[in-house]
A and B are shown apart, each in its own frame.
Chain A
Amino acid sequence: MASYSISVNGKAHTVTADADTPLLWVLRDHLNYVGTKYGCGIGQCGACTVHIDGNATRSCSINVAELGEKSVVTIEGLAPNGDHPVQKAWKEVDVPQCGYCQAGQIMTAASFLEKNPSPSTSEIRQAMHGNICRCGAYNGIEKAVKLAAKSQ
């Protein structure tokens, strides 16, 4: 066990954990940021997506020791009032069904639009292809990403 200083949503935290602890579990179990979800633990579903230095990253696939100085943003910190254009679009389209995958979907979409503010439909579909939604909310996700791109 070692002590790590990590920055989450602009706040500095000290975490005592084994070096191999995935960021996902540090966020959920140590720091209580439960908005980031566990879906597969092997980088296959995208439920755990957070931003690390602005890049959408699967928090299950990076461990606390690898994180170093990089700063982490979770769904809780995406926008102070939950009013990021992507969140607003999600609400307007009423995307979620069960809602479990949606934090990961939103974090993926937000980082994608940062890099590609006016994407084509097929770029959106490719960008979101890595995030599984068992409820099949994909049509709504596609529509909301388009809407967010327009409103940004």
Chain B
Amino acid sequence: MKKQEQNGFSRRGFLKTASLVSGGMLIGFNFFTSCDSDTPLEAVDLNSLNFNEFNAYIQISNEGKVKIFSPNPEIGQGVKTSMPMLIAEELDVPWEDVLVVQGKWDTDHFQNQYAGGSEGIKKAWEPLRQTGATAKQMLINAAAARWSVDASECHVENGIIIHTSGKKIGYGEVAVEAANLEIPEGLSLKEPKDFKIIGQEIGNVDIDAIITGKPLFGLDYKEEGMVYAHVLRPPAFGQTLVDYEDSETRKTTGVLDVISFGDKIAIIAENNWAAMKGKKALSTNWDSTNATESTDFHNAKLYAQLNGPLTEANGYTTMRSDGDVIQAFVDADKVVKRIYSTPFKPHNCMEPMNFFADVTEEKVRLVGPIQTPTWTANRVAELLDRDIQEIDLRMTRMGGGFGRRLYGDFALEAAEISNRIGKPVQVVFSREDDMTAGTYRPAVKYQIEASIKNNKLTGYQLREAGITDNMYSLIPNFFPQGSFENYKVDVANYQSNITVGAWRAPVTNFHAVAEQSFFDELAKELDVDPVKLRKELITNAKSSPSEERLYEPDRLIGVIDLVVEKSNFGNPAPGRFQGFASYFCHNTHVAEVAEIEMENGFPMVKKVYCAIDCGIVVNPLGAQNQVRGGIIDGIGAAMYGELKFVDGKPQSRNFHNYRMIRMMETPEIEIHFVDSNVAPTGLGEPALPPVGAAVNNAIYAATGKRLTSIPFIQHFV
């Protein structure tokens, strides 16, 4: 079996071009491919492409219209709009003339085809602009050749090539000639001051389809002969299937078949309702010997790790150690210590997990919402023992991802089932399946300690004890690394049979809540202004020798000053209480102030101010949406959401017993982007982590209560 991973960047294979059967020019995005740079792409009639036939090119029609295939999966983070903007900017075409189409999963032509880690725009910034610039230069060269003039005497305005003599010609008219020219290299890109599209408020390219209910999402995908499968998985983590009785299920109208694989049973039916009814009618016996883990048990395990020694035997790994924290603590006048806890959280994408698979002898067709097409295609190839070349995967728009769609378990199930029943099948999770099938944000506890001597901070130590997963190695090099001479981060975990995974802003989504709540407490303890304390510590880090510090102190101080000014921090309106937090993650610097009011004894977040430095803002409209969404999600996660377990069984199954943030709990949000000419960084995640701490610090201001566990709402019932 041949594996295919994504290719590294290579200039040599920058572009392939080809004439279109229908006229016009194709420009391949294969700037990442390192081989076959001079084999032209086959001519294809792009007008014949439909939902079943995605392809990976810029197309310029004879009329000068431009079709851009957006390479990355769209989960609501806006890349299907912002990535084509980068190409169109350098191509110098009016945005109105651009039609955006979702690119196909294609490792020959695209790189980094995944959605996660807020990295899409950061990684696409150079190559996508280069693609646009290259196409533009080839079109100019074609026009210059036709006119027998020097290309340097030509420039472009809105897709029209203009010669110094005043002669003009549209892109569409020279597209075919351009496609056959040599590919220019070493082109320079525009200065930010010359941007015409980048920095403009561009609406979502799928807006018309969304507001009129056109098929876009995985669950909307249908084809002739397709059947539906709903899967019964073990109700508790650790359970295994003993046996089952399916005669009632098979009697259900519309049920076609019942099969089992591993510890799962799939009900195959003509439609979703039949599958759901058939599933209810199954009787099953589960072996529960290993299904023992409850929330109380997890808490006991994690506390035991926190209270135990920092040794390998107790499961600890040291992530970073500067100076001598132990001595600093011994010498201290006082050590402040706090434990912060988060429960498990399901992702609850509004579109439940689903995937289509059609496994035949010739190939394996997969269609659906997935953040990691390459990874998933490789896993399916492994599962079915097929060559990766036989896998054809197409990405639909996703009804949310938040990390859940990084894991292709649902696609593997679809492939497995289709392979067994020999039919095209769509696996559909009910909401209950979606919430109980696992891959949660793991429960974690942080113990944070700081030593104080002569009213100065002298040491900082953080221990993490988490279920199964731990913080990634970058975090120990975020703030406050470099701010303390004596600094130590250690992590341990308990290996559970409950599956866990990334959840929007993995790890940082709660690490920020714990850390930034703790610094507020330290400020109280030292009797200094909480903002001043942060700024002093960040300033310390500037002069510290460590090259490993990942954030930029000046940019972090920049957003802090901005949010303090905009929110008039320290002077809330009567009845309002403010809390502050700042944080760096996913390459972006953020500071936030939350304002709350107490209503009938409950904290209600009324307003959030956010200052954010993500470099150049590619699409302010999309950027605002991302930041707002992150803040609201962060408030929801901190205030309301909690998934508990009893004997391995998730105790929330649907939205009646898992609380999501809703409209009336949503604050007004005021966002200030830092004016910047620096290359852009991501926005899908960074606004989320600090807001929980800002809210917590506001709750302290209002009530004098220092909350150390989320969801905060539990402390007010």
Contacts and interface: CB of A to CB of B under 8 A. Distances in A.
A, B bound: yes
Interface of A: 1, 17-18, 20-22, 25, 28-30, 32-42, 44-45, 47, 74-76, 78, 82, 87, 90-91, 94, 96-103, 106, 125-126, 128-142
Contact of A94 (B212, B402, B625, B661): B625
B351 A100 contact: yes
Contacts of B216: 99
Interface string B373-385: 0000000000000
A39 B628 contact: no
Nearest to A96: B210
Contacts of B350: 37, 39, 45, 47, 98, 100-101, 132-135
Contacts of B204: 94, 96, 99
Contacts of B214: 35
Given A100-B350, A139-B628, A139-B666, A33 B213 contact: yes
Interface string B196-218: 00000101101110111111110
26 contacts: A18-B274, A29-B273, A34-B215, A35-B212, A35-B214, A37-B399, A40-B431, A40-B654, A41-B276, A42-B654, A90-B207, A96-B204, A98-B75, A98-B350, A98-B351, A99-B206, A99-B210, A100-B351, A101-B350, A133-B350, A134-B660, A135-B76, A136-B630, A138-B666, A139-B628, A139-B666
B348 interface: yes
B500 to A, nearest CB: 19
CB-CB nearest 5 A-B residue pairs: A35-B213, A98-B76, A100-B399, A136-B632, A75-B213
Contacts of B629: 97, 135-137
Nearest to B217: A100
Nearest to A44: B655
Given A18-B273, A44-B656, A76 B222 contact: no
B207 A96 contact: yes
A99 B349 CA distance: 11
B183 interface: no
B668 interface: yes
A39 to B, nearest CB: 5
Contacts of B203: 91, 94
A40 B435 CA distance: 10
B253 interface: yes
Contacts of A132: 350, 655, 660, 662
Given A41-B654, A90-B211, A98-B401, 13 more contacts: A33-B213, A34-B222, A36-B213, A45-B350, A47-B350, A74-B213, A75-B211, A98-B76, A99-B206, A99-B399, A125-B664, A132-B655, A137-B625
Interface of B: 75-78, 201, 203-204, 206-208, 210-217, 219-220, 222, 228, 253-254, 271-274, 276-277, 348-352, 397-402, 430-431, 621-622, 625-626, 628-633, 636, 654-656, 660-664, 666, 668-669
A94 B621 contact: yes
B662 A39 contact: no
Contacts, number: 185
Contacts of A40: 431, 654-655
Nearest to B656: A44
Contacts of A38: 219, 272, 352, 431
Nearest to A28: B272
A126 B628 contact: no
A22 B273 contact: yes
B348 A41 contact: no
Of residues B273, B622, B631, which shows the largest number of chain A Cβ atoms within 10 Å of its Cβ? Answer: B273
Of residues B212, B220, B254, B431, which shows the largest number of chain A Cβ atoms within 10 Å of its Cβ? Answer: B212
B211 A136 contact: no
A129 B400 contact: no
B656 A141 contact: no
A26 B621 CA distance: 37
A99 B76 contact: yes
A92 to B, nearest CB: 8
A81 B206 CA distance: 16
A75 B636 CA distance: 28
A127 to B, nearest CB: 8
A30 B633 CA distance: 35
